[in-house]
Chains A and B, each alone.
Chain A
Amino acid sequence: MHDAVDHELRRTPLYSEHVAAGAKLVAFAGWEMPIQYVGIRQEHLAVRSDVGVFDVSHMGQVVVSGPQALECLQHLVSGDVRRMPEGGAQYGLLCNERGGVLDDVFSYRLGERRFLLVTNSANHMRDLEWMRTHAREFDVEVSDHQSDFAMLAVQGPRARAVVQGLSDGLLPPRLHCMERSVAGVPLIVCGTGYTGEDGVELLCAPEQAPVLWSALLRAGAQPIGLGARDTLRLEACFHLYGNDLDEQHDPISAGLAWACAEETGFIGAQPISEVRASGPELKLVPFIIDGPGIARQGSVVVGGGVVTSGTFSPSLERGIGLAYIPADRAVPGNRLEIDVRGTIRTAVVEKKPLYRKDR
């Protein structure tokens, strides 16, 4: 029974490398992924102080191309896509007509009329279906490229130096992308990440991924699992779809008003502009637990609200998290009481991000 389930899990092109590196593998969104190698805390701190490499090949890729690619993407994602130059990158949301969030995606403008979107793996097929349905009124092609790319994230203060040393040319700045050859592997380099550190994400052909991975390890990058990816992103207050974002919450409540340009008329823009005008009833806020204990997803905030992400912060050595709470209480410095498995823990509402370099 157990084996049957395991066999249905997809493996990235780096599966053998993970096993060789001593990874603990777990099921994640239909994929068998490394959750940790040597330990979450140690991996986390390696990314904060040095450089780590993550296999994120489970993430999905969609290409929107054609004469009306710009207009189509403008309709689909929340940001103002016109502000993204060729070789630019932009964070945005796919929303439904009610303004609920279907996914959060990074868009990369590969050409004037060609965009690459990186989706969350659990949402990929649904996103693809949604995008194809709503692209019908445009002269575009929406194509699935999930199987055409492996994706590695190299993150940390030394990430750029490590990748630069293997690259045939200068790397793109933050929020830009370009084609390069790294360790002899042709790929797309993106100045993006999910850790709050500087770094790049690399998209290459799956069969080339092991060569790239090995070269990065030899150059000093430490393999980092999804466990540390979660603690890193939460310290940086980056949202995780399915936890902090879903169809029941709009981007304004989620603190993503900056990623929404309602004047473009994207799907969901009207209800989102109404929430922006009236102010959301709930707001997603970061918090730090005062003392021991870790609030987890689903922990209830006394007096109203719920924790959507919670973990231990290796940098702060405290429980941290994100919670939707009534807007009038969503003020930095406010104290919250959170029911953690029957024990009431005190937490303090903080500003984003929870971890800063200069702390």
Chain B
Amino acid sequence: MADPNYPDDLKYHAEHDWARIDGDEATLGITWYAQDTLGEVVFFTPPAVGATLTKDEAYTEVESVKAVSDVVAPLSGEVIEVNGSLGDNPQTINEDPYGEGWLVRIRISNPTEADALMDAAAYVATLP
């Protein structure tokens, strides 16, 4: 889990989610702060490929020893890939939240929504 880390190339949602936007696709995950607050993730059940995400609404859950937390979609879109390796190794979300711990890839349905997301500096300023 190491030290706090908020890469500059990501867009951030106030509910502690990130999006790595690549053309009309995006990879989504939870931030360092989210995984640190949650503690060790023990279960992650991904949504189905083809599922529709709506910005600002929960699309899945991550569960730690302590608590279960909704994961909120930073962007609307359709799930085109899920990180299947997290089923057996959910702690990857803690170990590498922006890399191997990604949750889903989506095809973005409304690109202008990205304008409402924060850059790293703005997101960090929201943290306690």
Chain A residues within 8 Å of B, Cβ to Cβ: 35-36, 39-42, 227, 231, 292-294, 296, 311-312, 314, 317, 341
8 closest A-B pairs by beta carbon, nearest first, are A40-B65, A312-B65, A312-B42, A292-B43, A41-B40, A39-B40, A294-B63, A40-B39
> Closest CB of chain A to B60's CB: distance in Å?
12
Q: Which residues of B contact A41 (CB under 8 A)?
A: 40, 42, 65
Give the contacting residue for A294; candidates B1, B39, B68; CB below 8 A.
Answer: B68
- Taken together as a complex, chains A and B put the C-alpha atoms of A294 and B90 apart, in Å, by 14
Whether the Cβ atoms of B65 and A293 lie closer than 8 Å is: no
Give the contacting residue for B42; candidates A35, A36, A294, A296; CB below 8 A.
Answer: A294
Near A by CB (< 8 A), chain B positions 62-85 give 63-66, 68
> Closest CB of chain B to A88's CB: distance in Å?
35
> Closest CB of chain A to B70's CB: distance in Å?
10
B109 interface hit (Cβ, 8 Å): no
- Chain B contact-residue range equals 10 to 19
- Taken together as a complex, chains A and B put the C-alpha atoms of A314 and B42 apart, in Å, by 9
B45 interface hit (Cβ, 8 Å): yes
Give the contacting residue for A293; candidates B1, B39, B40, B63; CB below 8 A.
Answer: B63
Whether the Cβ atoms of B43 and A227 lie closer than 8 Å is: no
> Closest CB of chain A to B127's CB: distance in Å?
14
Whether the Cβ atoms of A311 and B43 lie closer than 8 Å is: no
- Taken together as a complex, chains A and B put the C-alpha atoms of A293 and B63 apart, in Å, by 8
- Taken together as a complex, chains A and B put the C-alpha atoms of A40 and B39 apart, in Å, by 8
Q: Which residues of A contact B64 (CB under 8 A)?
A: 312
Chain B residues within 8 Å of A, Cβ to Cβ: 1, 39-40, 42-43, 45, 61, 63-66, 68
> Closest CB of chain A to B74's CB: distance in Å?
22
Give the contacting residue for B43; candidates A42, A231, A294, A296; CB below 8 A.
Answer: A294
Give the contacting residue for A231; candidates B45, B65, B68; CB below 8 A.
Answer: B65
- Taken together as a complex, chains A and B put the C-alpha atoms of A35 and B64 apart, in Å, by 14
Give the contacting residue for B66; candidates A42, A227, A341; CB below 8 A.
Answer: A227
> Closest CB of chain B to A71's CB: distance in Å?
44
Q: Which residues of B contact A36 (CB under 8 A)?
A: 39
- Taken together as a complex, chains A and B put the C-alpha atoms of A41 and B61 apart, in Å, by 20
> Closest CB of chain A to B103's CB: distance in Å?
15
Give the contacting residue for B45; candidates A42, A292, A312; CB below 8 A.
Answer: A292
Whether the Cβ atoms of B63 and A227 lie closer than 8 Å is: no
Chain A's closest residue to B37 (CB) is: A24
Chain B's closest residue to A38 (CB) is: B1
- Taken together as a complex, chains A and B put the C-alpha atoms of A41 and B1 apart, in Å, by 13
CB-CB under 8 A for A227 and B39, given A292-B45, A293-B63, A294-B63 = yes
- Taken together as a complex, chains A and B put the C-alpha atoms of A317 and B66 apart, in Å, by 14
Whether the Cβ atoms of A39 and B39 lie closer than 8 Å is: yes
Whether the Cβ atoms of B68 and A341 lie closer than 8 Å is: yes
> Closest CB of chain B to A204's CB: distance in Å?
30
> Closest CB of chain A to B26's CB: distance in Å?
26
Q: Which residues of A contact B40 (CB under 8 A)?
A: 39-42
Q: Which residues of B contact A296 (CB under 8 A)?
A: 68
